[in-house]
Amino acid sequence: MSAIRLPAVVNVTDWVAVNRDQFLPPVCNKMLHTDGQLKLFYVGGPNQRKDYHIEEGEELFYMERGDMELKMLIGNRFVSQPILQGQLFLLPGNLFHSPQRAADTIGWVIERERLASEIDGLRYFLETADGTPTLRPLFERYVHMRDLGSQVAEIIAEYRRSEEFRTGQPTKSASDNADTAAVAYKPELRPLPPVTLADWLDKHQQELDNAEVKNGSSSLEVFPSQCGYQFLVEVVGRSDGRQEFVEYNCETWLLQLVGECSVTFYVEKGQTATARRLGEKDSLLVPAGVAFGVVQSAGCRLLKASQDPGRKGY
């Protein structure tokens, strides 16, 4: 039997309580998973920023306490999308976005490890005298993102030392490292509206408890895959463990929303490795390529999220 490193169960309520100081300024965030392919961090506030981030990966937002605003450039127009407490929002790749968070709020965000060829951008837009952003860049930097925490902070610090920050006017060097390989903005993309998870669970209650739908497991996609997302975000309902879930190219994050379940890992088909029990708000990161089954009774709900760059559909 080949050895797999089985993940530890983390209760996110306890983890947030232990790390509560990390969600206050100036840090405002703490990574729960950072070493592998899936990057998951919890974010607090206040954090009102003017920089806009852009990458080829998608970002999945969830607000656990309080509301946030996600400013975005959609169709070359600046819009502000509220993401309310209890809502999930899937941001497509290739869109400029700038999260705005108030004090005493907490949410989580999932991103993914960048491919070797991918270059992220961080841009400040030139503003008019009354502070309205225009489409002209004021200052921007493009980097291969290896460390979300430190590299963004370095660019913000560089901006605050810059001539552009001091004068509010672009200089010749404002975009001097703009790489031709850098991520391209796609003005035609339109994100789906946020999903209120509790309402979504209510609406799909019957389908989620009908375990005969798919070989013993009733799992439903929150954001339909025909939209061409890299993300696969599903809720698993009643399940007898017969169906094996596996992602070969990416990690899968599991978060128990309601009730409890047992997650059984398989080394080879039909061969039981070991099981982990998840209670409410317990989370688990499944390594890439590891098949697993879920056993849970009707009424229990497990959130399952992964992002495979190979699914890039737009």
State whether residue 145 is helix, strand or coil.
coil
What is the closest distance, in whole angstroms, from the C-beta atom of residue 56 to Fe ion in the complex?
Answer: 11
Q: Which residue, 51 or 164, has its beta carbon nearer to Fe ion? A: 51
Q: Which residue, 61 or 223, has its beta carbon nearer to Fe ion? A: 61
Which of these, 221, 184, 230, 242, lies nearest to 303 by C-alpha position? 221
Backbone phi and psi for residue 45, each to the nearest 5 degrees, phi listed first: -160, -175
Residue type, 9: V
User: What's the rounded Cα separation, in Å, for the pair 41 and 301?
Assistant: 22
Total of chain residues touching Fe ion, rule CB under 5 A: 1
Q: Which residue, 223 or 265, has its beta carbon nearer to Fe ion? A: 223
What is the closest distance, in whole angstroms, from the C-beta atom of residue 110 to Fe ion in the complex?
Answer: 11
Longest dimension (CA), the chain: 67
Contact segment (CB under 5 A) with Fe ion among 48-56, 189-197, 211-219, 281-289 equals: 48-56
Rounded to 5 degrees, what angle do the CA atoms 128, 101, 308 make? 100
Task: Give rounded-to-5 percent helix, strand, coil for the chain.
Answer: 15, 40, 45
What is the closest distance, in whole angstroms, from the C-beta atom of residue 53 to Fe ion in the complex?
Answer: 4
The CB density around residue 93, as the number of other CB atoms within 10 Å, is 23
What is the closest distance, in whole angstroms, from the C-beta atom of residue 59 to Fe ion in the complex?
Answer: 5
53 binds Fe ion (CB under 5 A): yes
What is the closest distance, in whole angstroms, from the C-beta atom of residue 97 to Fe ion in the complex?
Answer: 6
Q: Which residue, 53 or 304, has its beta carbon nearer to Fe ion? A: 53
Which residue is nearest to Fe ion, using beta carbons? 53
What is the closest distance, in whole angstroms, from the C-beta atom of residue 65 to Fe ion in the complex?
Answer: 20
112 binds Fe ion (CB under 5 A): no
Which of these, 206, 254, 261, 249, lies nearest to 234 by C-alpha position? 254
Q: Which residue, 53 or 301, has its beta carbon nearer to Fe ion? A: 53
39 binds Fe ion (CB under 5 A): no
User: What's the rounded Cα separation, in Å, for the pair 275 and 51?
Assistant: 44
Q: Which residue, 121 or 293, has its beta carbon nearer to Fe ion? A: 121
Q: Restricting to residues 179-238, name those near Fe ion by CB under 5 A.
A: none
Residue type, 195: V
Q: Which residues here bind Fe ion, judged by CB under 5 A?
A: 53
